[in-house]
Structure 1
Amino acid sequence: MTDNKANKKTSLSHEFNKGIIKENPVLCLLLGACPTLAVTTGAANAVGMGAAATAVLICSNIVISLLRRFIPNTVRIPAYITIIAGFVTIVQLLVKAYAPSIDDALGIYLPLIVVNCIILGRAELFASRHSVIPAAVDGLGMGIGFTAAMLCMGIIRETFGTGGVFGVNLLPESIYTPIIIFILPAGGFFVFGMLIAISNRLQKGALARREIGCAGCPSAKTCSTIKEGGKDIC
């Protein structure tokens, strides 16, 4: 029983972490590039878009997981879109009511969450094949990963493009001249590409360290190898 609980916790932890790091929807899977490039001219916009997408991800994953045995396979995609559209409508109404400035800034990209490939992808590949709790955890992890990537882009673009972040001026114009290209589409592609390159480099480094094992240990030549449980431990 204890082993089952430990395995379940490990599995949930894996599902949560993979969306943030290993399978980040933006930097690793390259999904949702359109809203990522369009709304990350400011950090506040990035947080607003990320929070809205995360809320829709979690709620739609839960409902699709609950209904997965009742949705006919032939109409599953229209069914998923209908469910997602319902939650997007709710989120849009809440944003309009409580954060109208964010609603104005996000514009058409807020209702377009309905056809966001991240949300549709998680519905098809995960929520429709797993129970409620893993589906919710997957949605949360993917949502946080999406938000984190957008926030990084938003902070970089706003800082270099305006000299401030979250609307607060950090670099006075007397000592810093804003680089306008960072808040233009070209700057978005540049920052996007740089973050993808950094992510790929970190992923390759982590993979190489795992493959090296004891061979990468500084004490590998002097320490004795102990056999324990069928594994070599330096």
Structure 2
Amino acid sequence: MSALDIGIKNDASKIWLFDYDLTLYGEEERFVLNSLDHRIAEFVQKTVGGTFESATEIRKDYLHRFGTTLSGLMAMNGTAPDDFFDFIHEPEYLIYPKVAPEKLELLKSLVGHRFVFTNGRGDWSRAGMAHMQLDSAIEDVFDLKLMDWEGKPHVSAYDKIEKWLVARGVLAQESSEKSQIVLLEDSLRNLEPAHERGWTTVLVNPNIQAPSWVDFHIPHLLNLKEKLVTNH
């Protein structure tokens, strides 16, 4: 682990960016993401034909090659993004995370600004946060639509959120020091561009080892409290 792995200062300068899936809710609730992935595979099947199994393989291939399944569908099949999300976000087909009072307490203890930075359309994470009763702790959601449908790990996604933070008056435009931006993510692939920009990186994943460039590694969001250092 890097030399930075001694603690994150919990102060007013911090901009906390949380991925949603498998970060705000953890691996123990993977069934939430599975319900969405099932719906995505159904959309792929509806778009390209074939069996559900072959559509699932195409979903995984697009995710690997393009960063998101949607990016693959847009590039290979001309899919309109809102058509995709309108289909996969039908609530009757989805499962949402459980109420999470400990997470609410943790999030509200974080000084500074708190946002969600997600490769989904915002209604999915907002619905999930409402089910978890975390929505009062998050200021806003920076979603795939605000990224012009080109999400993490594309560099443009990180450019766009930095400009968005500047426009909100949260990040100084002339700031060359970006370590006050703390990105919490379950995906190393999505953390790497943040590391290259000088952001503080937190891998939230119990199943993989962190390379040396990751600043902090925790198995679950609630373990973040163990990494916090408060100035007195």
Greater share of helix residues, 1 or 2?
Answer: 1
Greater share of strand residues, 1 or 2?
Answer: 2
What's the TM-score, normalizing by structure 2?
A: 0.27
Query: Higher Cα Rg: structure 1 or 2?
Result: 1
